Amino acid sequence: MKIHVKAFVGFLSCLVALGVSWTPAVFAQPYPVRPIRVLISFPPGGGSDMIARAMGEKLSVQMGQPVIVDNRPGAGGRVATELLAKAEPDGYTLLMGSVSAISVGPLVFRKLPYDVERDLLPLTRTAELIIVMVVHPSTGAKNVKEFIDFVKRQGDKVRFGSAGVATPTHLAGESLQRLAGIRMTHVPYKGGGPAVLDLVAGDLHMTFSTYVTALPHIKSGRLRALAVTTPQRQPLLPDLTAVAETVPGFNFSNWQGMFAPAKTPRRIADRLVVEINKAILAPDVKKRLNAMGIEPIGSQSRKEFAKFVREDRVRWAKVIGEAGIKE
């Protein structure tokens, strides 16, 4: 037994001589050694799903393990987010989070089974789903100013559709009304797709939609795209103005980002940031997503992404408070 103790002491002495401290990290297990699951808050075929699958294929090759996309739709993303919050913090369960569940949900639904700041660890922002302000041609509006003038003439007879009460597209409409000094009638739907179809039919005057969803109708002339909702113009659509160019302060970012359980070891979290950014920004992945109206991003650090999430929540808190939206 004494021999074993002396051998162990000798081993520690070697570590010290080499400048290595004796911590659990020294004996940490390699990562990953089994499949990684990525939870998606929405059904297959949506923006989050497209991003996760394109990124996951590349990530699997980079990390040498399968990346499994697990769609868990429901409650505006809260179902998948709760699953992540309760998952083992070992780097094998991740979440493709969005503005709906991370920024808006906690402000509207007070009794959630998780706390975003306490239970989730922001890793990196992955992409921006381009959102466009689209109108029915009957409005006669060819730009944001003309639509605002149309609303001022028509009053609350103007109907704008959204993906549902307290969804980001609803809040974008509320923000536009507040900043532009106009009033419209809100018509909520169970998803953005049905709202776009009713806009095409002429039952609505305006909605905010993902570019990829609205594109066929824009090309056919049945809808007219007026602007993008981000503060600046999108590189993919350089000729389309930003709403903020007419309505200063307007900002609706339909971002996506990767999250892990809060207690995930930092060495694993940092590895994931590097690998996810490498995958999402790979030229072939970028080209594939660009074709769907999605702009890959990638944060410089976990700290940068965490700051972005906090600021986004503060901004939506103001919109929700002024609109008087409650659970």
162/178 Cα distance (integer angstroms): 16
249: tokens are 């302060």
Q: Is-contact 40 72, C-beta < 8 A?
A: yes
From 245, 279, 299, the end of a domain falls on: 245
Tell whether 17 is covered by a domain: no
Average pLDDT score over the chain: 89
Q: 36-74 as b/e, with b when 16 or more CB fall inside 10 Å?
A: bbbbbbbeeebbbbbbbbbbbbbbbeebebebebebbbe
Contact predicate 26/20, CB 8 Å: yes
How are beta strands 67-71 and 36-40 bridged, if at all?
A: parallel
Q: What is the pTM of this model?
A: 0.82
Whether the per-residue pLDDT at 178 is higher than 70: the answer is: yes
DSSP state of 113: S
Question: Phi then psi for 166, rounded to 5 degrees?
Answer: 70, 10
Q: Are both 209 and 297 inside the same structural domain?
A: no
Question: Do 238 and 289 fall within a single domain?
Answer: no
Q: Do 41 and 111 share a structural domain?
A: yes
d(CA 268, CA 276): 12
The SS3 call for residue 146 is helix
In a domain, 7, yes or no: no
Residues 232 and 284 in one domain: no
pLDDT recorded at residue 164: 84
Residue 10 lies in a domain: no
pLDDT digits (tens, 9 = 90+) for 213-257: 899 999 999 999 999 999 999 988 999 999 999 999 999 989 999
39/92 same-domain check:
yes
Cβ atoms 261, 97 nearer than 8 A: no
Task: Tell me if 9 is assigned to some domain.
Answer: no
Q: Are residues 215 and 287 in the same domain?
A: no
Closest of 123, 180, 131, 133 to residue 302, by C-alpha: 123
Q: Look at residue 225 and give its three-state secondary structure.
A: strand
Co-location of 115 and 209 in the same domain = no
**Residue 251: how many CB atoms within 10 A of its CB?**
19
- Does residue 22 lie in a domain region? no
Instruction: Please calculate the CA angle 188-190-130 and round it to the nearest 5 degrees.
Output: 85
When pLDDT is cut at 50, 70 and 90, the band that residue 22 belongs to is very low
* CATH code (residue 103): 3.40.190.150
CA distance linking residue 44 with residue 14, whole number of Å: 53
What is the band of 80 on the pLDDT scale with cuts at 50, 70, 90?
A: very high
Instruction: Name the domain count of the chain.
Output: 2
pLDDT digits (tens, 9 = 90+) for 128-138: 999 999 999 99
Q: pLDDT band at residue 173, thresholds of 50, 70 and 90?
A: very high
**Is 146 part of a structural domain of the chain?**
yes
Last residue of a domain, one of 245, 280, 313: 245
Half-sphere exposure of 234 (CA within 13 A, CB side): 26
Which of 205, 220, 245 represents a domain boundary (last residue)? 245
Do 138 and 239 sit in the same domain of this protein?
Answer: yes
C-alpha of 301 from chain center:
17
Residue 185 and residue 223 share a domain: yes
Same-domain check for residues 229 and 137:
yes
Q: Are 84 and 259 in contact (CB under 8 A)?
A: yes
62 within domain boundaries: yes
CATH of the domain at 232: 3.40.190.10
Q: Which domain holds residue 154?
A: 131-245
Instruction: Compute the distance between CA of residue 317 and CA of residue 315 in angstroms, rounded to an integer.
Output: 5
Residue 20 included in any domain: no
Instruction: Say whether both 138 and 272 belong to one domain.
Output: no
* 25: exposed, middle or buried (Cβ count in 10 Å: 0-12, 13-18, 19+): exposed
230 shares a domain with 138: yes
